[in-house]
């Protein structure tokens, strides 16, 4: 008799192969989600640091501290709160003078540092 269709063994082998492939794809998808989320957090941390530094740039440089830390700032970016710490002239450097300040900005999200940047702020004449 010539019956059409698949045997139980063929179906089980096909399902096993499909399951292995699906598990691998699911793992790759989870890794991609994690990477994408980390990139989004870092991008938002950069925005938070930029906002803090932009505010400092509006100040008179002679009124800025020559050493020490500013009070930590909480800056919200897309419903996430970032803590931005600004340090003035963190080490002895030629960039700290009457007309210039070396600034180190560190950004934290959930108590983990996610971004840091150093910059020099100089008053234009």
Q: What is the domain-level CATH number for residue 43?
A: 3.30.1300.30
Whose structure tokens read 């998808």? 29
Residues 104, 86: contact at Cβ < 8 Å? yes
Q: Tokens at residue 51, please? A: 């906002």
Q: Is 84 inside a domain boundary?
A: yes
Q: Is 2 inside a domain boundary?
A: no
**Strand ranges for 40-91 from DSSP E:** 68-69, 73-77, 80-88
Between CA 73 and CA 83 the distance in angstroms is 6
Q: Is 1 inside a domain boundary?
A: no
Would you give the distance in Å from CA 46 to the centre of its chain?
Answer: 7
Q: Is 51 inside a domain boundary?
A: yes
The answer on pLDDT for 3 being more than 80 is no
Between CA 113 and CA 91 the distance in angstroms is 20
Q: 39: which DSSP letter?
A: H
- pTM as predicted: 0.78
Q: Tokens at residue 59, please? A: 């100040």
Task: State residue 99's pLDDT score.
Answer: 82
Domain of 32 in residue numbering reads as 8-122
Tens-digit pLDDT profile for residues 26-58: 999 999 999 999 999 999 999 999 999 999 988
Q: Is 3 inside a domain boundary?
A: no
By mean pLDDT, which of 14-28, 30-44, 66-80, 94-108 is the weakest? 94-108
Task: State residue 72's pLDDT score.
Answer: 96
∠ CA 109-110-112, rounded to 5°: 65
Q: Tally the domains of the chain.
A: 1
């Amino acid at each position: 008799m010539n019956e059409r269709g698949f045997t139980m063994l063929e179906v089980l082998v096909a399902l096993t192969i499909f399951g292995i492939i699906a598990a691998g794809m699911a793992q790759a998808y989870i890794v991609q989600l994690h990477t994408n989320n980390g990139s989004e957090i870092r991008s938002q941390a950069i925005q938070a640091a930029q906002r803090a530094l932009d505010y400092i740039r509006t100040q008179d440089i002679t009124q800025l501290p020559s050493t020490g830390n500013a009070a930590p700032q909480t800056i919200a970016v897309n419903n996430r709160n970032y803590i931005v710490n600004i340090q003035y002239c963190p080490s002895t450097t030629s960039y700290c003078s009457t007309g210039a300040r070396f600034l180190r900005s560190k950004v934290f999200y959930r108590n983990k540092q996610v971004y840091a940047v150093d910059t020099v702020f100089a008053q234009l004449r």
